[in-house]
């Protein structure tokens, strides 16, 4: 458990997701079943928590921020479903359960991902600034750019020099992971109509937190157990993925994650004590082993 | 050529799409290359033309409607890319060219579709009503519902009675095709801030036109040549797809398409002569053999 506040938010978000997703017995049942299966597969709800916590410290209300919080979790879930597909990472397990395409078949999994992405934009349609933020962060110059770079970097370790490897891994992390996590804090600030100093501070926090998250994820892929991770470990390395410790060394990767978390917390200074939940969340990202 | 006005619109839309899509030499180049390859593969731009023509007859300006017009073409293109993938329709040709995954590989094709869908919502983010309309029409209760029903109806001809087949084919057409075409005319009306009578009339026109479009498409799959269609013909039937003439008979399918076009044109009465371009477009849908 990260904090009681985080647990409350998780419940709030899960209830709202349950209301916004079509029922599993609504036609087409296979599609709606697959959408719910993946959304309720045990995600930590980190991104929606960031939206709500960012909104709260800018004195926004939950009701306004909640659709944005749900939308970003739907985008995250769609990206996992498509990522796990055979032409991409070809994963059988996600959060300890069969991946969406293993459970529902590839065609339904592709369409369930498409439908979650589309629903996300239905939820944020009434909030133009947040909608634009989400689209840019998730698009071909954001998260998807990172996915492509991640795929194209397979085997890079055998053909690139050390400096090039470092550049590649930083590009991948900034796009694949940090873009969406940064968007989460920004969407929370936008929902709360925060001023530019607050928006900039939360952007910086989100960016550092997102980078730290992926660095620790890469470390855990090399050091964690399958039970801890809910998915096969060591698989990224086995398939030639360019993970952070391969480019920087384990020692430097750990230091990098720690420094990023320090920077993330420093960015929050102007919020004084009100930012404690976001600081606690940053510490959790560094220390988590699940 | 449908009409000089239609040709002008096509050029306007193509220019704007060219501006809005990231350049093919912008990183990741494979992704942006694939997005442009599919968007500029020779589509007729029917849906964006409907957005602009609907906006014009409601006295809206092109500048406001153009992002919505581009967005709907991006959604249409993404749906074709994902539809053509091996786990779905497994098509090698689209508009006379190799399909996106044949040209760029499956992983990039999936991501290019995702990125086009995401870009569509970036374009309409400043227009909440149009954005919502697009999301609902393209989502799990709209176009994607139709795709799933279309897949699940494969082989239905061997296991369902005649009445059930008719119901299935109508559900598929209403969702797979008509939902997005109806959304096009509605988005044009919304961009022009049309009144409720105009919105209702354009909805009805779009719905009838969309249904007629898919009925004629199904007929052409049985009677057209590969050169006319730009894709393999007879393939739908060969793989057990439930096309309209199989459920209703060729004679009744032709009559249905004609009646739908009459209804589409009747819906436009309140626009008097200003609706001539939309009437001409309806006639084109019926008569086209490409």
Go through the domains of chain A in sequence order and give each one's CATH number.
4-287 (1.10.600.10)
Partner A, chain B 85-104, Cβ-Cβ below 8 Å: 85, 87-88
Check if the beta carbon of residue B221 is closer than 8 Å to that of residue B243.
yes
**A to B CB pairs, distance under 8 Å:** 132
CA dihedral B37, B21, B124, A32 (to 10 degrees): 40
Which residues in chain A have Cβ-Cβ distances shorter than 8 Å to B167? none
Q: Is B36 on the interface with A (CB under 8 A)?
A: no
Please, what is the average pLDDT of chain A?
A: 95
Residue A232's pLDDT is 67
Nearest CB partner across the interface for B118, out of A28, A87, A135: A135
pLDDT digits (tens, 9 = 90+) for A165-177: 999 999 999 999 9
Distance CA(A35)–CA(A109), nearest Å, equals 8
Can you tell me the mean pLDDT for A116-141? 98
Task: Walk along chain B (290 residues) in steps of 10 and give the mean pLDDT of each run.
Answer: 85 98 97 98 96 98 98 98 96 93 98 98 98 98 98 93 96 98 98 98 98 96 74 77 95 97 98 96 86
As a three-state string, the secondary structure of B238-255 is HCCCCCHHHHHCHHHHHH
Tell whether the model's pLDDT for residue A290 goes beyond 80. Answer: no
Distance CA(B260)–CA(B216), nearest Å, equals 11
| Bridge-based pairing state of the strands A93-94 and B93-94 | unpaired
Contact B131 A118 (CB under 8 A): no
Can you tell me the mean pLDDT for A132-138? 98
Partner B, chain A 66-85, Cβ-Cβ below 8 Å: 78, 82, 85
Q: Give the percent of chain A with pLDDT over 70.
A: 96
Which residues in chain A have Cβ-Cβ distances shorter than 8 Å to B106? 87
Q: Which residue of A34, A70, A84, A87 to mutate against B (max B Cβ within 10 Å)?
A: A87
For the CA atoms of chain A, what is the radius of gyration?
18
Q: Is A115 on the interface with B (CB under 8 A)?
A: yes
pLDDT digits (tens, 9 = 90+) for A185-241: 999 999 999 999 999 999 999 999 999 999 999 999 888 776 666 666 677 888 889
Distance CA(A114)–CA(A118), nearest Å, equals 6
Partner A, chain B 169-228, Cβ-Cβ below 8 Å: none
Contact A139 B148 (CB under 8 A): no
Contact A152 B106 (CB under 8 A): no
Tell me the ipTM for this assembly. Answer: 0.97
Give the closest-approach CA distance of B5 to chain A in angstroms. Answer: 31
Residue A234's pLDDT is 76
């Amino acid at each position: 458990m990260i904090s009681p506040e985080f647990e409350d938010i998780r419940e709030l978000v899960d209830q709202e997701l349950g209301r916004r997703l079509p029922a599993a017995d609504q036609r087409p049942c296979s599609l709606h079943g697959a959408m719910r299966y993946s959304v309720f597969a045990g995600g930590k709800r980190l991104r929606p928590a960031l939206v709500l916590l960012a909104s709260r410290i800018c004195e926004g209300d939950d009701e306004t921020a909640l659709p944005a919080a749900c939308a970003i979790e739907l985008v995250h879930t769609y990206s996992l479903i498509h990522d796990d597909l055979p032409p991409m990472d070809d994963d059988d397990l996600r959060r300890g359960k069969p991946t969406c395409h293993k459970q529902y078949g590839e065609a339904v999994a592709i369409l369930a991902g498409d439908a979650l992405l589309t629903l996300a934009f239905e939820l944020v349609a009434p909030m133009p600034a947040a909608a634009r933020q989400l689209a840019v962060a998730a698009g071909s110059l954001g998260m998807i750019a990172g996915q492509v770079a991640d795929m194209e970097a397979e085997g890079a370790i055998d053909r690139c020099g050390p400096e090039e490897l470092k550049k590649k891994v930083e590009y991948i992390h900034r796009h694949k992971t940090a873009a969406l996590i940064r968007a989460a804090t920004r969407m929370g600030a936008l929902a709360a109509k925060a001023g530019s100093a607050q928006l900039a501070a939360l952007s910086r926090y989100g960016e550092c937190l997102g980078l730290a998250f992926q660095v620790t994820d890469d470390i855990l892929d090399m050091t964690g157990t399958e039970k801890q991770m809910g998915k096969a470990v060591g698989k990224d390395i086995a398939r030639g993925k360019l993970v952070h410790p391969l480019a920087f060394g384990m020692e430097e990767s750990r230091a990098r994650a720690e420094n990023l978390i320090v920077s993330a917390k420093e960015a929050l200074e102007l919020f004084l004590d009100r930012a404690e939940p976001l600081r606690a969340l940053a510490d959790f990202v560094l220390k988590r082993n699940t």
